[in-house]
Structure 1
Amino acid sequence: MAESQVREFRLPDLGEGLTEAEMVTWAVQVGDHVELNQTIAEVETAKALVELPSPYVGEVVELLVAPGATVPVGAPIIRIAQQEGAGDEHPDRQPVLVGYGPGEPPPSRRRRPAMRPETPHQTDGHTPVHGVRRRTAEAMSTSWREIPHVTEFVTIDATATVELVDHLRATPAFANVKLTPLAVVAKAVVLALAAHPLLNSRWTEQEIVARDHVNLGIAVAAPRGLLVPTVKNAHTMTLHQLCAEIGQMVERARGGHASPADMSGGTFTITNVGVFGIDSGTPIINPGEAGILCLGAIAQRPWVVDGQLAVRWVTTLGVSFDHRMIDGAEGSAFLADIAAMVHDPATMLARS
């Protein structure tokens, strides 16, 4: 009978500067036989849910980490016994990490939130806070504590933007993308950031760092919590390209396919509460950014046009900015600039 050698598999480097992950669930148990690249566990980082494939062929000897535990990169998580002489194992193989959504793995592999012991008369539910939700809570708490927020609002007639979207949707050029007013607002934001670069800057206590690129974050309500995938180099994109990229990033985030790189590097963020029928909000700035724009619902309302009452498509834009480096005049001018372009999107042609 061939001798076996026990190998430890350590949590690999997950990229993007991530130093730890939370063990979500094991897909194997002690005594199970595993094949090369078979998924053995799911871990959740601040950026994504990730499958861990086995780099070995053999039998599971010990699971070293319990579900719910936080594991630093490089820490051993499982021991697998290999039979010496087995031809399939690759001890030096680097595992390929795959991010995916909570709806895709078999239901039996998903860990249900643990319930604490309760007295017979209590009905409170207890859901552990971990992964993305915990990281989001930490980031928002840090932002609110350290950044002096100022939020301003403007309500505008966005009829021309709605009509532009309807017109472009009917053209062959936009037949393969889902064009929405969000893409037009995003284009206006990118152009306004070029004219107001402080809103695309970063505060470091010693200096204000002016960025030479726009990585536009789009807040997404996903099953795992709030995610903000970023459209890299949005300042170089046409409206069509921006629309296509936003659609792809949002789809990946909602489906759980966004990689850590997709979720990193944002310089300014847009949150669209209008999809929930909400008029506006006071968004919290993401740490490392100078501002965030809130797009409210676009709805038909009475509006005065040339002294006459008319029914128009109306929306409210809100912007929160970091008052340490942006004063009221600059923040107001930025918001007014975006509002003017959404009111009359044809003016963007002169600035593209």
Structure 2
Amino acid sequence: MSRIKEFNLPDLGEGLTEGEILAWLVKAGDVIELNQPIVEVETAKAAVEIPAKWAGQVHAIFHPEGSTVEVGTPIIAIDTDPGAGPIEASTTGAPTSALPSPSAASLAAVEVAPTEGAVEPGLIGGPAPGGRTAVLVGYGPRTTAAKRRPRKGETPVPAQAAAPAPPVTPAAPVVPASPAPSNGHGPAGGPVLAKPPVRKLAKDLGVDLSTLTGSGPLGSITREDVHRATSGATAAAEPLAVSVTAAASFGADREQRIPVKGVRKLTAENMSRSAFTAPHVTEFLTVDVTRAMKALDRLRDRREWRDVRVSPLLLVAKAVLLAVRRHPMVNSTWAGDEIVVKDYVNLGIAAATERGLIVPNIKDAGRLSLRELADAMTGLVQTAKAGKTSPADMSGGTLTITNVGVFGVDTGTPILPPGESAILAFGAVREMPWVHKGKVRPRQVTTLGLSFDHRIIDGELGSKFLRDIGDFLADPEAALLAWT
């Protein structure tokens, strides 16, 4: 068995099929240990560090930073026995005097370690390199074969090249065929390196990627390569297209094109699906929270709370958790022919990050004390801001809070995260004139917005749930005594 082993991009959970390499934490020639972090990958949900599956020396790195790689695609090769002497050329297909460069030849030359299941790679084409086994803690190995879900409009590629088509007989009319899709291999039979957006562009323009020579990193095909390939085909139509092209290019040098991927892409897909699946209803409630703000000040003054981050959001979270106990149906999921009511609350807190909006959740938050809840919320936000939230922390949410007040917004009509039946928008706390004990006085006031799934929560239940949250925030100490 070869001592050179390839490490494939593992299954990162939640049905994710690809990831973008943000940063390599090692380089060719480095000696690494088992489970040492080797690469940081951004999925559609979070940035995660992936540990090494073997100890040894980095033999080759196959994809540069910024590459989008399909699950199951080899990303690095590791020499598991670097002390055994030079590597035989017959084993690696590379000179023994130097580490190989990350080329297509090294992809084909290094032995793939056997794993469970088979995965069909989508970035470089060709047969799956033996499959994959999930290596992140908490997911465990897959027990059945799994394949990448085909993208919309994508034509499945057979494992082997199809046999030549039989000649068309003169009796049958010959119908002009559309350009054949790329078979994943270049002119020399090697793999085609192209990112998914480039592949889509080529498909839309009818360009066969296998006929192109890439000008990008590692010989990858770029958008410019695709556009150049179409210039010859459109030369005849140039006079007609001049005016259209000129109009389309007006101001193009002052436009910025941002690829929709990662967290932003997943958020867009989830919000679109939720908005057009669950019938949303939103109700609003304006609350005098002066007593709640004073209660927070007293909490901050307590010695055991001086090192704890205490914010109004903490009381809102506690209010939601207590209100769920009084109205369990709010914490449920529509499952078609049944409603699944959950006796645990995985409380989601929407967090704005550099990669977009994410909603990590605190598992079983209803069982936490106020101090434990404060610590959990602090850790959740800090991890999200650092970009280290794991996919597991963003899965399984049952009810969500979005704090739009931190942006100076009074409230909103939030869209439900898929699978949840309610989401609360917490607006800015402002000093406003308010009638208090028969007189107009300056008071601390906020507005709450509750969106809910009307298939599960009717107007009465939604109103009672929102009213209970408001009552808690109006006088949290009295509510704690009355409800607990």
Assess if the C-alpha contact under 8 Å between 2:11 and 2:134 holds in 1. Answer: no
Q: TM-score, normalised by structure 1?
A: 0.84
Amino acid at match of 1:271: T
Alignment partner of 1:22 is 2:19: yes
**Equivalent residue, structure 2, for 1:46:** 44
**Cα gap change, 1:86/1:133 in structure 2, threshold over 3 Å: closer, same or farther?**
farther
| Structure 1 residue 9, shift from structure 2 partner | 1.1
Q: Deviations along 1:284-328, whole A, 9 cap, x unmatched? A: 111111000000000100001122110000000010000111111
Q: Deviations along 1:5-28, whole A, 9 cap, x unmatched? A: 54221122334x444231234528
**Cα gap change, 1:28/1:293 in structure 2, threshold over 3 Å: closer, same or farther?**
closer
**Cα gap change, 1:292/1:57 in structure 2, threshold over 3 Å: closer, same or farther?**
same
**Equivalent residue, structure 2, for 1:222:** 353
Amino acid at match of 1:33: G
Assess if the C-alpha contact under 8 Å between 1:290 and 1:321 holds in 2. Answer: yes
Assess if the C-alpha contact under 8 Å between 2:48 and 2:389 holds in 1. Answer: no
Higher mean displacement: 34-43 or 131-140: 34-43
Once residues 434 and 51 of structure 2 are traced to their aligned partners in structure 1, the CA distance between those partners, rounded to angstroms, is 59
**Equivalent residue, structure 2, for 1:183:** 314
**Cα gap change, 1:298/1:25 in structure 2, threshold over 3 Å: closer, same or farther?**
closer
Higher mean displacement: 291-300 or 257-266: 257-266
Question: Which of 25, 31, 37 is the matching residue for 1:35?
Answer: 31
Alignment partner of 1:340 is 2:339: no
Secondary structure at 1:177 match in 2: coil
- Equivalence map 1:265-304=2 (5 Å): 265-304=396-435
Secondary structure at 1:178 match in 2: coil
Once residues 303 and 61 of structure 2 are traced to their aligned partners in structure 1, the CA distance between those partners, rounded to angstroms, is 58
Alignment partner of 1:251 is 2:382: yes
**Cα gap change, 1:68/1:341 in structure 2, threshold over 3 Å: closer, same or farther?**
same
Once residues 341 and 121 of structure 1 are traced to their aligned partners in structure 2, the CA distance between those partners, rounded to angstroms, is 54
**Equivalent residue, structure 1, for 2:169:** none
Secondary structure at 1:249 match in 2: helix
Once residues 389 and 303 of structure 2 are traced to their aligned partners in structure 1, the CA distance between those partners, rounded to angstroms, is 29
Assess if the C-alpha contact under 8 Å between 2:25 and 2:40 holds in 1. Answer: no
Gaps of 5+ in 2: 86-112, 116-132, 138-221, 228-247
**Equivalent residue, structure 2, for 1:13:** 11
**Equivalent residue, structure 2, for 1:208:** 339
| Structure 1 residue 97, shift from structure 2 partner | 5.9
Alignment partner of 1:193 is 2:355: no
**Equivalent residue, structure 2, for 1:107:** none
Alignment partner of 1:63 is 2:86: no
Once residues 332 and 63 of structure 2 are traced to their aligned partners in structure 1, the CA distance between those partners, rounded to angstroms, is 44
**Equivalent residue, structure 2, for 1:143:** 274
| Structure 1 residue 230, shift from structure 2 partner | 0.9
Q: Deviations along 1:261-294, whole A, 9 cap, x unmatched? A: 2222211000001111110011111111100000
| Structure 1 residue 224, shift from structure 2 partner | 1.6
Once residues 65 and 281 of structure 1 are traced to their aligned partners in structure 2, the CA distance between those partners, rounded to angstroms, is 42
| Structure 1 residue 181, shift from structure 2 partner | 1.1
Task: Name the % identity.
Answer: 46
Secondary structure at 2:393 match in 1: coil
Assess if the C-alpha contact under 8 Å between 1:21 and 1:43 holds in 2. Answer: no
Assess if the C-alpha contact under 8 Å between 2:57 and 2:79 holds in 1. Answer: yes
Which structure is higher in strand share? 1
Assess if the C-alpha contact under 8 Å between 2:350 and 2:403 holds in 1. Answer: yes
**Cα gap change, 1:66/1:174 in structure 2, threshold over 3 Å: closer, same or farther?**
closer
Once residues 371 and 276 of structure 2 are traced to their aligned partners in structure 1, the CA distance between those partners, rounded to angstroms, is 38
Structure having greater relative contact order (Cα 8 Å, sep ≥ 6)? 1
Amino acid at match of 1:189: V
**Equivalent residue, structure 1, for 2:195:** none
**Cα gap change, 1:84/1:170 in structure 2, threshold over 3 Å: closer, same or farther?**
closer
**Cα gap change, 1:70/1:148 in structure 2, threshold over 3 Å: closer, same or farther?**
farther
**Equivalent residue, structure 1, for 2:74:** 76
| Structure 1 residue 47, shift from structure 2 partner | 3.0
Alignment partner of 1:322 is 2:453: yes
**Equivalent residue, structure 1, for 2:482:** 350
Assess if the C-alpha contact under 8 Å between 2:21 and 2:66 holds in 1. Answer: yes
**Cα gap change, 1:318/1:125 in structure 2, threshold over 3 Å: closer, same or farther?**
same
Once residues 214 and 148 of structure 1 are traced to their aligned partners in structure 2, the CA distance between those partners, rounded to angstroms, is 22
Q: TM-score, normalised by structure 2?
A: 0.62
**Equivalent residue, structure 1, for 2:256:** 125
Secondary structure at 2:48 match in 1: strand
Higher mean displacement: 199-208 or 227-236: 227-236
